[in-house]
Structure 1
Amino acid sequence: MIRLSRIPHQLLTWGIPMGPLMLLRTRGRHSGLLRTVPIATLRHDGHHWLVSPFGDTHWVRNLRADARAELGRGHRFRPVRLVEVDDDRKLEILHAYRGAFGLVPFVRDAFDADAGAEPHVFAREAHRHPAFLIQPAG
């Protein structure tokens, strides 16, 4: 996984647009140092979302400790606040994420539910895929 993320990470660091991929910058929950990871943003129902197909990753744990982060590429980052959702919206978000990024092999493999499944099918695995609403910082 780390090897796969190096190329998008470097291209985004140079400021090269890569569709929905952005750099997420969080503060390490133990070290306090800035941590940056490439992430796919989902636009759904008039909002932007982050979903972790790989579960409780370091960036997820960092956001749970401090919801303030930055999104961007190159030298252009904007401060955001990420709010974890675990309500009725989550199943719809997971469904939309799986549909939008289902052709990406590691996303497809991370979900048990198929892209064409109804949103309620994602309830069985919702605990494995944290989802965050992206809001302006403030």
Structure 2
Amino acid sequence: MTTTETRQLRPGRIDRIGNRLVNALMRLGVSVADSRELAVRGRTSGEWRTTPVNLLTVDGERYLVAPRGHVQWVRNLLAAGGGELRLGRRTETFTATELADDAKPALLRVYLRRWAWEVGRFFENVDADSPDERIREIAPGMPVFRIDRG
């Protein structure tokens, strides 16, 4: 494995504060830039784990992108095969399918166009206008899941 495939970027202090604020708004039913609270059962504990995510919709299909790499929610989602997206009192159960690296560049480009202001620093000097070859280089370190209503 390359370092790109195994990298994990931990949230800093500002990220944790921002996540708490976004989570509080989502629990009130307010989505910030298509944010949702992702809930996934822990692969070891079986307990629900939550984190804010950006719900990407492209051509009617919905996706979750892990800009920080192969973090705990990604590992839990792979083990569980699905989870819940929450916004206020609404809970949607879904199943998840991880995409192959070849399928990621166009989606990562759209993701960056929408949320570079929030997550661009995690994309290793790649932006929405980077060449496809450069986006393909980072694709193994950016898990992307297609989600379907469960």
TM-score, structure 1 as length reference: 0.91
| Partners of 1:98 and 1:120 in 2: CA distance | 16
Give the letter aligned to residue 3 of structure 1: I
* Long gaps (5+) in structure 2: 1-14
Percent identical among aligned pairs is: 32
Q: Counterpart of 1:133? A: 146
Q: Counterpart of 1:109? A: 121
Q: Counterpart of 1:119? A: 132
| CA deviation profile, 1:24-66 (whole Å, cap 9, x unmatched) | 1100111100111110011112211110000011110100111
Is 1:94 the counterpart of 2:94? The answer is no
| Partners of 1:56 and 1:50 in 2: CA distance | 13
| Partners of 1:44 and 1:121 in 2: CA distance | 21
Is 1:39 the counterpart of 2:53? The answer is yes
TM-score, structure 2 as length reference: 0.84
Q: May I ask how many residue pairs the two structures share in their alignment?
A: 135
| Partners of 2:101 and 2:32 in 1: CA distance | 30
Is 1:75 the counterpart of 2:89? The answer is yes
Q: Counterpart of 1:10? A: 24
Give the letter aligned to residue 66 of structure 2: S
- Alpha-carbon contact 2:102-2:136 (below 8 Å) kept: no
Give the letter aligned to residue 133 of structure 2: H
Give the letter aligned to residue 108 of structure 1: G
Q: Measure how far apart 1:103 and its partner are.
A: 2.2
Aligned residues: CA RMSD: 1.3
